[in-house]
Amino acid sequence: MEEINKLRVYRKKDGRKESFYTRSAYPGYKGFSENTFKVKKVEYREIDPKRSKFAAAIAKGLSQTGIKEGSNVLYLGASHGYTASFISDIVGKQGFVFALDFAPGVVRDLVFVCEKRGNMAPLLEDANHPERYKGIVPMVDVVFQDVAQRDQLGVFLKNCSAFLKSGGFGLLAVKARSIDVTKKPREVFKEVKDFFDEQQDFVVVDYRELSPFEKDHAFFVVKKK
Ligand SMILES: C[S@@+](CC[C@H](N)C(=O)[O-])C[C@H]1O[C@@H](n2cnc3c(N)ncnc32)[C@H](O)[C@@H]1O
């Protein structure tokens, strides 16, 4: 078992099989039937790259996430809270995850996850309207976005502008076909990269395509200047 690039994500190799883990910030609680095991009283939870684009990006060699112990994270598109729960492990009890989704059905499940994890709060909101949660969410170290919609970049920029500290990191899962079904995914990813390169405020620090874990998806890590 080794920590990957000081990301607070750990890799276990068993022959050719690799599996990925976080140190559980709330040991004894399993919200997603994930595998767990203990080493010297420390509990590790397995995160599945087929279920989490964040884990897929790490499995594909992502070298920086900007998420540290103690980070405050705004997570847009948290859904049932699967990946968000592992981000909650990574930031630990000194950090906090604001987990937002606009679908009442999934936020209902998210509420149960947050009840067990003191460093996570659910928000039933539309990421298109940061002004609605401006009074609740403070300035954060990381904005994480996984919403498959056409204007993914516009939503991301709006939220980074409202909530991301300078020097903070933006993590963006891009679904090419949501942006433009007529273009090849790699063309869309290049346009996204060019878009960030043209922005005064951001530098792209890492980028991974997520196949074979997620078809036609890429994961960008950008840093706000
Ligand atoms: C692919 S799922 C996210 C999966 C989750 N990130 C994970 O890894 O566990 C996308 C989620 O984005 C949410 N979503 C899409 N557009 C949104 C918006 N404008 N505001 C808030 N949530 C949105 C959907 O309801 C859905 O739950």
pLDDT tens digits, 186-211? 999 999 999 999 988 999 999 999 99
CA distance readout (Å), 3 to 117, 144, 173, 202: 23, 21, 23, 28
- Section 31-44 average pLDDT: 94
Q: Kindly state the percentage of the chain with pLDDT values over 90.
A: 91
The pLDDT of residue 178 is 86
The pLDDT of residue 175 is 92
In the reported structure, the alpha carbon of residue 212 is separated from the centroid of ligand 1 by a whole-number distance in angstroms of 21
Question: How high does pLDDT run on average in the chain?
Answer: 96
Of all atoms in ligand 1, which is nearest to the CA of residue 126? Answer: 20
CA gyration radius for the chain? 17
The pLDDT of residue 212 is 96
Q: Where are the domains of the chain?
A: 48-224
pTM: 0.97
Query: Which one, of 56, 169, 71, lies nearest residue 120 by Cα?
Result: 71
Q: What is the CATH number of domain 48-224?
A: 3.40.50.150
Structure-token pair, residue 142: 């990381």
Of all atoms in ligand 1, which is nearest to the CA of residue 77? Answer: 12
In the reported structure, the alpha carbon of residue 220 is separated from the centroid of ligand 1 by a whole-number distance in angstroms of 17
Query: Which one, of 178, 190, 182, lies nearest residue 145 by Cα?
Result: 178
The pLDDT of residue 213 is 97
Residue whose Cα lies nearest atom 25 of ligand 1: it is: 103
In the reported structure, the alpha carbon of residue 162 is separated from the centroid of ligand 1 by a whole-number distance in angstroms of 19
Instruction: Say if CB 100 and CB 78 are below 8 A apart.
Output: yes
